[in-house]
Amino acid sequence: MIYLIVGKSCSGKTSAREYLESKGVKSFEASKYIKSYMKKYNMAPEELFGKFGKDFVSKLIFKEIKKLKRKASIVISGLRTPEEIIFFKNNSETKIVGIKASDNICFQRNLERKREDILIKFEEFIKKRIKFNSKIGLTEVFQNYVDVWIENENTFEELKMKLNEILDKENGNN
């Protein structure tokens, strides 16, 4: 099974992927591929999607998955376009896990990250997210492709518990 973890920025996608990875699930982070191509071709993400197709990241990751010897579960976080999701749905057994958190919670996480692209004003943060999500099709992904949603409003322990429930259900350990 390939688990695709989708969500808005600061919702908990990376935390979920890292937790599943700590449990032995092979993981991939889509943004790693985007950043690598941005550097290699000196292009913005939109330009890369125009040049290579909106599903090029999925194809790169899928190529790596095919090289793996084991047939265990895999988790991928950070895919954002409908084309990326459709590629995996058409080529593998896939479950799309949506992670959501309120705008206020995500904004607080944004501040705690201390990244260079941090947005200090709540209004800027929301405006940028809305523009980005609609531009790349993440809103469509949420509306049409998510199989199961996780509310990630509280502690990391609670997120882990919800992820374990999904894994247990898939493995027949109700």
Model pLDDT for residues 101-112, shown as the tens digit of each residue? 988 888 888 778
* Whole-angstrom distance, CA of residue 174 vs CA of residue 83: 32
pLDDT score, position 142:
84
- Token reading at 155: 């502690």
Q: What is the mean pLDDT of the segment spanning 62-70?
A: 87
* Whole-angstrom distance, CA of residue 104 vs CA of residue 122: 8
pLDDT score, position 115:
64
Please tell me which residue, 147 or 141, carries the higher pLDDT value.
147
pLDDT score, position 121:
78
Cβ-defined contacts of 39-45 (< 8 Å, 24+): 45/136
**Domains, the chain, with CATH or none:** 2-29+72-169 (3.40.50.300)
Nearest to 141 by CA among 91, 103, 88: 88
Nearest to 16 by CA among 32, 33, 29, 35: 29
pLDDT exceeds 70 at position 86: yes
